[in-house]
Amino acid sequence: MKFSLRLNNDHRVRDYVRWAVQAEQAGFDQFWVSNDLFYRSAPVILTAAAAATRRIEVGTCILNPYTIHSAEIAMIAATLDEASNRRFNLGLSSGAGDFLAWVGIEAHKPRTAVVETVEAVNRLTTGQAAASEGDFLAWTAEAHMRFPALRRVPIYIGAMSPRMCSEIGRVADGGLPLLFPPEHYTQVIGHIEEGARQAGRSMDKIDVAACIWCSVSDNQAQAEDALKEKIAYYGHAMSATILEQLGLTHKDFSEIERLVMVEKDIEAAKRLVTAPMMRIGIAGSADRLIERLEQLAALGVRHISFGPPLGPDIDEAIRVIGQRVIPHFR
């Protein structure tokens, strides 16, 4: 079993350096940081984290080819892989439409944009020219790296929709499918397997990280409060497919979104988070977390990715997962 830690990019850089060191010591295999708009830059955070660690892999979850040009994504990937001594994984997807709208971007042909970017980055990081006449990328023969990448950088596709999940199986080295609730894995893995079958690929070659949200604390109320805050901020941006698993629609989040994004009143928004919404993640003690994760292990999960909020005290959550959860499954 493989284990990774995912964090949002809303903390101080020095905190990520500390957490990366802690995660490496606790036995995590990978350390991922998101690149959500108007927070801190994930590539900068990961450069600092890589400099402070020796073994743990680092990755972006995720970059998108709308706010960062695909050529620059390849530059970031190759440079971070060099800075980390071959420990960088590129997490890539199309981004959340609600957040892209903030900066006037409409994500045309998101699946095409991601697939063509994967193909371009693969060519560029293997020393090839990436000339293309695609539906998203139209590049000349001058589209090639001016420095040698250390290797072809592994690419993980972030996904929530069935079609994007299938592309994990078809073209990616790994996947970061968001599982809301965690048991959504049974639906997700079928789409990934179908994509792999169509491409004639073995699932043994694809690292699928079962990406869950967890809030770990022996204080149940505090654990739930931390999870509510994350749900209040991101719930409206989740795909209809994910919400259907919970018996919810985007309309259920409309007032929560208004309170967070317009009124800036996160406390009022948290009070509107319902029990079905709380099924998005896992909140509570290490024993409660293990109980839910055993269901995933029984389904064949080989990589569990622990994501934010992680709990009222992230340092403590990393310690508890490292001491109690990871050894339980290893």
Q: For residues 46 and 9, is the Cβ–Cβ distance under 8 A?
A: no
Q: What is the pLDDT of residue 239?
A: 80
Strand bridging mode 138-139 / 132-133: antiparallel
Q: For residues 92 and 156, is the Cβ–Cβ distance under 8 A?
A: yes
What CA–CA distance (Å, rounded) separates 33 from 40? 10
Q: Which residues lie below 8 Å from residue 312, measured CB to CB, with a gap of 6+? A: 215, 217, 219, 222, 223, 225, 226
Which amino acid belongs to residue 327?
Answer: P
Q: What is the pLDDT of residue 242?
A: 79
Provide the 3-class DSSP secondary structure of residue 193: helix
The pLDDT of residue 244 is above 90: no
Q: What is the pLDDT of residue 182?
A: 87
Q: Where are the alpha helices (DSSP H) in the chain?
A: 13-26, 42-52, 70-83, 97-101, 110-124, 162-171, 185-199, 220-234, 240-245, 254-257, 266-270, 275-278, 286-298, 314-320, 326-329
Q: With bands split at pLDDT 50, 70 and 90, how would you rate the model's confidence at 62?
A: very high
Q: What is the pLDDT of residue 243?
A: 86
- Class of the domain covering 159-330: alpha beta
The pLDDT of residue 240 is above 90: no
The pLDDT of residue 323 is above 90: yes
Please tell me what DSSP assigns to residue 153: P
Cis peptide bond N-terminal to 321, omega within 30 = no
pLDDT tens digit sequence for 200-209: 999 999 999 9
For the chain, what is the mean pLDDT?
A: 95
Task: Read off the pTM.
Answer: 0.93
Q: With bands split at pLDDT 50, 70 and 90, how would you rate the model's confidence at 130?
A: very high
Neighbouring CB atoms inside 10 A of 164's CB total: 24
The pLDDT of residue 80 is above 90: yes
pLDDT tens digit sequence for 310-321: 999 999 999 999
The pLDDT of residue 97 is above 90: no
